[in-house]
Amino acid sequence: METITMGNTATKDRVRTPFFHHPYVVAAVFLLPFLIVFGVFRIWAVANAVVMSFQEMEGIGVARWTGFDNYVRLLSDATFITALKNTAFYTAGTLLILIPLPLVLAAVLRSSLVARASAFRSTIFLPVLTSLVVVGVVFSLLLATNGLLNSFLGLFGVPPLRWLEARNLAVPAMIIMAVWRWTGINVIYFTTGLANIPRDMYESAAVDGAGAIRKFWNISVPLSKPIILFVTVLTIFGGMQLFVEPFILWGTGGGPGQGGLSVVVYLYRTAFTSFQLGYASAIGVVLALIIVTLSLVVLKVFGFFKRD
């Protein structure tokens, strides 16, 4: 019996699992490329930007430690304040339009009121896939003084508006562009959320005499709360990181009277035109803190941190 036991032990030793066949080793091997890229381009980059924000750097050269001077400078920088106001106005405008409008469209497409709803969803999703160069050309023509939008408004007696030339119309012009570009993807998000709501709930509400509006307000909206939260946070991220719309309409100039200047465009201009890398890093750090704060406030309002 002892011989048999010793033989079994020796056999187990010989068939021991190879090192690279262990589940945790396999997982580590597959995760390692992502961890390296994330560490270099995220963690190290963010940490380096924070360090640079406390320095004065004129181009790629010797840096001089200045403490909180860059942040103190931000408080009195009128251009930064203007860019922050424009960005906040744009973010608020997109939130007021790109949340309720796609949700209503998604509910309509989920109902039996629209034939071939899938084709309609695909059509309104196409702007997301459109080249930025094409978008810039199209909206430069659309928003021109004699463009299609003013021609349409003229049918209702509205005089031509200088969308790309008036300071107070720069942000509304970008909001129009954002609504055209991002409504489709938000409709897809909300359609996915509405698809998870059981049909039985709508049928029971119909038996109780509820109409389409009551069913939408009392069933669709409350049960779509997680998707609404998700889209709201994404919209805040996109709004505060506004760059594409003003860049393709006005470049880095900020539009008429700085009316289209966003925080990210100002950061880009400060870093790569003025080569003030330390000050640009301070702008980026402040913007990141604002985004994190707004996101936490939204999560708090939606009850994300509440225990069930």
> Secondary structure of 75-130 in the HEC alphabet?
HCCHHHHHHHHHHHHHHHHHHHHHCHHHHHHHHHHHCCCCCCHHHHHHHHHHHHHC
pLDDT reported for residue 1: 45
Into how many domains does the chain fold? 2
- Tell me the angle at which helices 78-98 and 170-195 cross, rounded to the nearest 10 degrees: 40
pLDDT reported for residue 9: 52
Cα–Cα distance for residue pair 271/277, rounded to 1 Å: 5
**Same structural domain, 161 and 86:** yes
**Same structural domain, 194 and 277:** yes
Q: For residue 61, tell me if it sits in a domain.
A: no
**Same structural domain, 81 and 147:** yes
Q: For residue 68, tell me if it sits in a domain.
A: no
CATH classification of the domain holding 229 = 1.10.3720.10
pLDDT reported for residue 19: 67
**Same structural domain, 138 and 14:** no
pLDDT tens digits, the chain, 308 residues: what are they? 444 455 555 455 555 777 666 777 778 888 888 889 888 888 888 888 889 889 887 666 677 888 899 999 999 999 999 999 999 999 999 999 999 999 999 888 887 777 777 778 788 888 888 877 788 788 888 888 888 888 888 888 888 888 888 899 999 999 999 999 899 899 999 988 888 888 888 888 888 787 888 888 888 888 889 999 999 999 999 999 999 888 888 887 888 888 999 999 999 999 888 888 889 999 999 999 999 999 999 988 888 777 65
Q: For residue 306, tell me if it sits in a domain.
A: no
State which residues form the domain around 156: 73-301
**Same structural domain, 24 and 85:** no
Cα–Cα distance for residue pair 15/37, rounded to 1 Å: 36
**Same structural domain, 13 and 122:** no
Spatial contact of 99 and 231, defined as CB atoms under 8 Å apart: yes
The residue behind tokens 């100002």 is 266
pLDDT reported for residue 15: 57
**Same structural domain, 207 and 277:** yes
**Same structural domain, 18 and 144:** no
Q: For residue 307, tell me if it sits in a domain.
A: no
> Helices in the chain by DSSP H: which ranges?
2-14, 23-38, 45-52, 69-75, 78-98, 100-110, 117-129, 132-142, 148-154, 170-195, 199-207, 212-215, 221-223, 225-240, 244-250, 263-272, 277-301
Strands 64-65 and 55-56: antiparallel
Residues of the chain with pLDDT > 90, as a percent, come to 32
- Tell me the angle at which helices 225-240 and 170-195 cross, rounded to the nearest 10 degrees: 150
**Same structural domain, 118 and 165:** yes
Decide: helix, strand or coil at residue 211: coil
